[in-house]
Amino acid sequence: MKWIFGASLAAMVLAGCGSDADVDQTTDSPTPPAETSDTSADTADATRFSVSDAMAGSWRTEGEVARDDFRHPAETLEFFGIEGDDTVIEIWPGGGWYTNILAPYLYENGGQFIAAWVNPERSERAASSLEAFRANYAEYPDTFGEIQYTTYDAESGPLGEPESVDAVLTFRNLHNWMGGDYADKFFNDAYAVLKPGGVLGVVEHRLPSSAEQDPSAPTGYVHEDYVKALAKAAGFEFEASSEINANPADTADHPFGVWTLPPVSRTTDRDGNTPEGFDADAYTSIGESDRMTLKFVKPAE
């Protein structure tokens, strides 16, 4: 299977869009997917292949599985109300960490996974990363289904036909769009493509309410209220928040922003300098960032 390590693939995407990469990292070689069941019959039973089954798939690497304790995919997708027969867009799936769970789950239950990438016409790197991502999955339609593609970036058009999808999800990306000054576009585009009653699910590094929000989010952390305001301006109703992905040990005031913590674990600035007394082990012990998990709904007509 022609897998590209998640860190390099995601970094290529974000570099093509001029953003500071917040990437999913894997360190061990993935194995080809095992045979999965035929979905040609009885796909109406959306519980016969669960998110937990997808999480246990042979196509997931040890590095991916190790992050389950921080990312809580089963609980997160349940909170967002994702059903097996839904049509779901994931914005900027990076190295495919969530794709490797969502795509098999949706395929086995009659749903559809759609990956939204930076427009490949933006740069050679963007084109190369999309080509690599496609190659990862194209040879295994019996496991991941026929993944569909769309684009999202500062200059992209609609995510799809108006009111055509059940859910739009994004994981740890909003700060990149704030840095490029087009975060509001994301909420507007998501609103347009969602069906009435459709769900927008956002997981993002959380800035403490006592800290000042820089609109460009240079540390990677974002206020919950800021996200809620952007969603409200686009027409969404806030439905609920969850502490599924919270980490009280994260103080959000690290030398290299959120990238000081795993999975990036940065130890130097862009000039190669490390602060005096820097203790990488202390940040590793914190674990991954404290994250908000927010559910918004497009009002039903």
**Mean pLDDT, all residues of the chain:** 89
Q: What would the 3-class secondary structure string for 179-237 be?
A: HCCCHHHHHHHHHHHEEEEEEEEEEEEECCCCCCCCCCCCCCCECHHHHHHHHHHHCCE
Q: How many domains does the chain have?
A: 1
In which element (H, E) is residue 152 found? none
For 120, other C-beta atoms within 10 Å of its C-beta total 17
Mean pLDDT, residues 98-116 taken together: 98
Residue 128 inside a domain? The answer is yes
Using an 8 Å Cβ cutoff, are 205 and 173 in contact?
no
The CATH number linked to 103 is 3.40.50.150
Residue 93 structural domain: 6-30+46-246
Residue 266 inside a domain? The answer is no
Residue 70 inside a domain? The answer is yes
CA–CA gap between residue 129 and residue 82 (Å, rounded): 27
DSSP 122: S
- Find the farthest-apart pair of alpha carbons in the chain and give their distance in angstroms, rounded: 62
Higher pLDDT, 5 or 259: 259
Query: Can you tell me whether residue 239 is helix, strand or coil?
Result: strand
The pLDDT tens digits of the residues spanning 19-65 come to 445 544 333 334 456 554 444 434 445 458 999 999 999 999 999 99
CA–CA gap between residue 195 and residue 205 (Å, rounded): 27
Q: Which residues pair with 171 in a beta bridge?
A: 203
Supply 81's token pair: 């109300």
Query: Can you tell me whether residue 78 is helix, strand or coil?
Result: helix
Higher pLDDT, 4 or 142: 142
The pLDDT tens digits of the residues spanning 218-234 come to 999 999 999 999 999 99
Residue 233 inside a domain? The answer is yes
Position 163 confidence tier, pLDDT thresholds 50, 70, 90:
very high
DSSP 240: E
Q: Give me the pLDDT at residue 48, please.
A: 85
The pLDDT tens digits of the residues spanning 188-200 come to 999 999 999 999 9
Mean pLDDT, residues 145-152 taken together: 98
Residue 124 inside a domain? The answer is yes
Residue 140 inside a domain? The answer is yes
CA–CA gap between residue 93 and residue 90 (Å, rounded): 6
Determine if residue 65 is left, alpha or beta; phi over 0 gives left, psi from -120 to 50 gives alpha, anything else beta.
Answer: alpha
Q: Give me the pLDDT at residue 68, please.
A: 98
CA–CA gap between residue 98 and residue 193 (Å, rounded): 21
Q: How much of the chain, in percent, has pLDDT values that exceed 70?
A: 84
Buried b or exposed e, range 220-235, using 16+ CB within 10 angstroms: bbbbbebbbebbeebe
Residue 88 inside a domain? The answer is yes
Query: Can you tell me whether residue 63 is helix, strand or coil?
Result: helix
Residue 73 inside a domain? The answer is yes
The pLDDT tens digits of the residues spanning 79-94 come to 999 999 999 999 999 9
Q: Reply yes or no: is the peptide bond before residue 263 cis, omega within 30 of 0.
A: yes
Q: Give me the pLDDT at residue 24, please.
A: 43
* Among 76, 60, 54, 72, CA closest to 28: 60
* pLDDT above 90 for 171: yes
Sorted by sequence, the CB contacts under 8 Å of residue 158 that are 6+ apart come out as 189, 192, 193
Q: Give me the pLDDT at residue 32, please.
A: 56
Using an 8 Å Cβ cutoff, are 167 and 201 in contact?
yes
